[in-house]
Amino acid sequence: MSTKKLTLAALFIALGIALPFVTGQIPQIGSMLLPMHIPVLLSGFVLGGPLGFLVGLITPLLRSALFTMPPMIPVALAMAPELGVYGLVSGLVYRRFPANEKGSLLRILTALIAAMIAGRVVWGLAMWLLLRSSGGVFSMQAFLAGAFVNAVPGIVVQLVLIPILVGALHRAGFIDKE
């Protein structure tokens, strides 16, 4: 693992910790705009799946430990595997395409949507396990509301912003043309 990749991983973690301050530490706005998700998704595209997974796993846990937001239990503990899967899947799916097609919008959106769906499923499973273990209930209605309905603004932001950023990073040479 190169020093450049480790430095970029640290930068993505720092962005994931800092961007939620844009929402003013208001959980309702943060859960709508999903600011922590953006650097994690980008890390998968830039660094590849395995390192993207670590960025996603570390970011919500470290942010919770430093600032108590999101709350560790159950939110950060459910977000860690969700974001880990975002980084993993975005990186793995994106790298499955030939190098000359990696910067194309269709390839970026394919990897992005696959990561978003897989991450939300993992979040739902994590929430179900965490709440079940403490005697709570996590219904399908709660899953759909948390993963999709309440998150629509953040999903739209991701679908617009991530392809623009990945395309720019690809053209600038920050994404390997392997």
**pLDDT tens sequence across 76-92:** 999 999 999 999 999 99
pTM: 0.93
Secondary structure in 3-state letters for the chain: CCHHHHHHHHHHHHHHHHHHHHHCCCHHHHHHHCCCHHHHHHHHHHHCHHHHHHHHHHHHHHHHHHHCCCCHHHHHHHHHHHHHHHHHHHHHHHHCCCHHHCCCHHHHHHHHHHHHHHHHHHHHHHHHHHHHHCCCCCCHHHHHHHHHHCCHHHHHHHHHHHHHHHHHHHHCCCCCCC
Tally the domains of the chain: 1
* Residue 177 in domain: no
The CATH number of residue 120's host domain is: 1.10.1760.20
* Residue 102 in domain: yes
Q: What is the pLDDT of residue 19?
A: 94
Q: How confident is the model at residue 98 (pLDDT cuts 50, 70, 90)?
A: confident
* Residue 176 in domain: no
User: What is the domain extent for residue 111?
Assistant: 3-171
> pLDDT at residue 178 above 70?
no
Q: What is the pLDDT of residue 16?
A: 97
* Residue 178 in domain: no
